[in-house]
Structure 1
Amino acid sequence: MKIVIFGGTGFVGLNVAEVLLARGHDVTLYDRAELPPSARRSLADYGARLKAVQGDITDAATIDALIAGGCDAIVLGAAVTAGDELERVSTARVLEINVMAQIPILLSAIRHGVRRVVNLSSASAYGAAGARVDILDEETPCDPVSFYAISKFTSERSVARHAELFGGDFLSVRLSALFGPWEKPSSVRDTPSLQFQILAAFARGESALLPAPGIKDWTYAPDAAEAVALLIEAERPCHRLYNISSGTPWSALQWGEAFAALHPGLECRLAAPGEKTLIKLHGGDRAPMSVKRMADEFGWRARFGCAESAAAMSAWWMQHKEGI
């Protein structure tokens, strides 16, 4: 298939692109940012099957022309992933990019007969509901709080409503606590995972000192990308919303210790009382997400747990250390 990934040169976009290319598809990355040199080198063997187009997500005319040129599927991955700081200064921008900019893309997809659109949403859409239940499934009523969470929940509803009104084959996925290759903070993403911050400390030659263990249903980005690819390829998905998660809570501290054990001289531990740490937690504790829907329908489950993802990330880190 010919697949366009909006937000394609970002963290999640690049992971999805790698998986789709490996599965034989042609991929176009549309993003305001250039394809990072390390990613360009890593993906060079795919040749003409990979294209990168620089452009703004609000440029409806350019996007319509791109889709009109031939497109079987679209991944809506462009987003402002805002923590409290970025939210304070970019409230309107969060809603503009995460919700409103999607609408011309959806209408273009309908006009030009795009087979499927997958909207990348977030576990944050559950919001405060995550503190009231033991497990979050797709039927759990949402209670989004932050503007980012509100925007993601709204994007899901907008995508579903467009599908109902115009007959598009559109669906959304809620991604849980992603980390892994190609992650980087940017002007539109100020919430790096604890794993990225641990690696950043190691890259500076410092110990990784965590303010807390950081327990979540952490999900290795290549696992999430495999799930997205399955949904793009599926003949007829039964639902319009799917959770994508490892399904198992474990701590970033445990992950950092496993990573450090592979590299003598590295240290990851909890900061002692009064000890300074640059590592920040983003978001409070919440229940893990159920992946029963993905497992029952597609047989998908995350392949990388804590130890497995630490080993895989170690191998990747050795090749791409300069990018951290």
Structure 2
Amino acid sequence: MNVVIFGGAGFVGLNIAEQLLARGHEVTLFDQAELPAEARCAFAPYGERLRVLRGDVTDRSAVDAAVGVACDAVVLGAAITAGAARDAAEPERILAVNLLAQVPILTAASKANVRRVINLSSAASYGASGRHYPLLEETTPCDPQSLYAITKFASERVVARLSDLWQADVISVRLSGVFGPHECAGGVRDTPSPQALIVDCARRGAPALLSEPGARDWVYAADVADAVGVLLDAAQPRHKLYNISSGVTFTAEAWGRAFADPDGGFVCRVAVSGETPTVTVHGLTRAPLSVQRMADEFGWRAKYGCEESAEHMRRWLHDHDRGGA
């Protein structure tokens, strides 16, 4: 299978690419950003099965060239994960990348007879509804608030409408709070996961003082990649929308303690009165996502909980010479 990942230099795209390459597929990464150094090193053994293209998803000709004529599947992962300041300063750019760029990509996929498109959406689509329901199912009403959440929810509706009109195979996945390998702050990601900030504190030898415990049904990027692989391989998925989550709730604070070397003296806790947090937990407190649809249809469950993901992250950092706790 030949898969084009738009937004492929982002950490979620890189995790998806890594699993697809390991399974023998061919992958094209399309992104405006350069491939991170550790990703270039990790992907080097795959040789010509990996193609990297620099380009803007709003450039129709570049998108057409990326999809080409030999593409089997497309992953729509390009997005600006904006905070409030960028919402106010760059609304046009956010809408262009997160929503309007979908149309030329889907058009190119349709012309190339691409078998399936996976649209990476977000649990942010639930918005304020996340505070009013005990469990967020794919059928739960949505009330998105931020431009990121609004564009992600709108993206689901746009691809669903066009897939019906064009008889195309397009699936959206709502990702819970994702963290894991290749993640870093900056660029188009204004709201890095607290886990990424905890890792950064550990590498610098600084205490990780959280703005709040950060309780959420976090999902490890390797599990997201595995779920996307399941959906790409599935013969005839029954639905057009699936939640992807670990299915368990744990705090970022607990994860940081599991990640830390118990003999290293690393401090990870919630900041007390008078302390300035070094780790900001972004996003609204919300109910967990139901993963029953993925479990019932495909038997899929996340492999990494709090302790498992912390251990895997330690090993990954060691193997990629980025330092650890």
Could you tell me which residue of structure 2 aligns to residue 136 of structure 1?
136
| Aligned equivalent of 2:311 | 311
What residue number does 1:178 align with? 178
| 2:270 aligned residue | 270
Q: Which residue of structure 1 aligns with residue 289 of structure 2? A: 289
After TM superposition, list the pairs within 5 Å mapping 1:200-219 onto structure 2.
200-219=200-219
Deviation digits for residues 42-66 of structure 1 (CA, Å, limit 9, x no counterpart): 1111111111011111111121123
Q: Is structure 2 residue 71 aligned with structure 1 residue 71?
A: yes
2:125 aligned residue: 125
Partner SS for 1:98: helix
Tell me the residue number matched to 2:34: 34
Shift in CA distance, 133/186, structure 1 to aligned 2, threshold 3 Å:
same
Q: Is the 8 A contact 2:131 2:287 kept in 1?
A: yes
Report if aligned partners of 1:38, 1:323 keep a CA contact under 8 Å in 2: no
- Summarize the Cα distance change of 1:71–1:214 in structure 2 as closer, same or farther, 3 Å threshold: same
The residue correspondences of 1:183-198 to structure 2 (distance < 5 A) are 183-198=183-198
Residues in 2 aligned to 1:36 and 1:266: alpha-carbon distance in whole angstroms: 27
Structure 1 SS opposite 2:259: helix
TM-score by length of 2: 0.97
CA distance 1:321–1:91, change in 2 (3 Å): farther
State the AA in 2 paired with 1:185: A
For 1:10, the equivalent position in structure 2 comes to 10
RMSD of Structure 2 on Structure 1 (CA)? 1.3
Provide the residue aligned with 1:88 in structure 2: 88
Distance 2:291 2:100 in 1: 29
**Equivalent-residue separation in structure 1 for 2:116 and 2:263 (angstroms):** 43
Distance 1:263 1:43 in 2: 33
Corresponding residue SS for 1:253 = helix
**Residue 38 (structure 1) shift:** 1.1
Is 1:164 the counterpart of 2:161? The answer is no
Q: CA deviation at 1:177?
A: 0.2
Cα distance in 2 for residues equivalent to 1:90 and 1:74: 27
Task: Report the Cα distance in structure 1 between the residues aligned to 2:209 and 2:24, rounded to whole angstroms.
Answer: 41
Distance 1:263 1:190, change over 3 A: farther
User: Deviation per CA, 1:108-135, whole angstroms, max 9, x where unpaired?
Assistant: 1111100000000000000010000000
Q: CA deviation at 1:207?
A: 1.1
Is 1:108 aligned to residue 108 of structure 2? yes
3-state SS of 2:134 partner = coil
Deviations 1:256-305 (A, max 9, x none): 01111456222211212111222112112100000000001111100000
Alpha-carbon distance change, 215 to 258 in structure 1, aligned in 2, over 3 angstroms = same
Moved more, 146-155 or 186-195: 186-195
Tell me, in whole angstroms, the C-alpha distance in 2 between the residues paired with 1:263 and 1:319: 20
Q: Against the structure 1 CA distance between its residues 321 and 282, is the aligned structure 2 distance closer, same or farther, given a 3 Å change threshold?
A: farther
> Matched residues in 2 for 1:18 and 1:187: separation?
21
Measured against aligned partners, the alpha-carbon deviations of 1:65-91 in whole angstroms (never above 9, x if no partner) come to 232231000000000111112212111
Task: Specify the alignment match of 1:253 in structure 2.
Answer: 253
Letter in 2 for 1:302: A
C-alpha separation in 1, matches of 2:167 and 2:15 = 29
Residue 300 of structure 2 corresponds to 300
Structure 1 residues 40-79: aligned runs within 5 Å: 40-79=40-79
1:240 alignment counterpart: 240
Paired position in structure 2 for 1:99: 99
Contact 1:176–1:217 (Cα < 8 Å) also in 2 = yes
Distance in 2 separating the partners of 1:307 and 1:323: 19
Deviation at 1:107, TM superposition (A): 1.0
Cα offset, 1:14, TM superposition? 0.1
Quote the Cα distance in structure 2 between the aligned partners of 1:232 and 1:209: 39
Residues 295-304 or 271-280, more deviating: 271-280
Counterpart position of 1:151 = 151
User: Quick one: distance in 2 between partners of 1:51 and 1:263?
Assistant: 42
Secondary structure, aligned partner of 1:8: coil
Structure-1-length-normalised TM-score = 0.97
Once structures 1 and 2 are overlaid, which stretch shifts more, 118-127 or 77-86?
Answer: 77-86
Identity %: 54
Unaligned runs of 5+ in 2: none
The residue type paired with residue 73 of structure 1 is A
Q: Contact (CA 8 Å) 1:262, 1:314: kept in 2 or not?
A: no
How far is 1:13 from its partner? 0.5
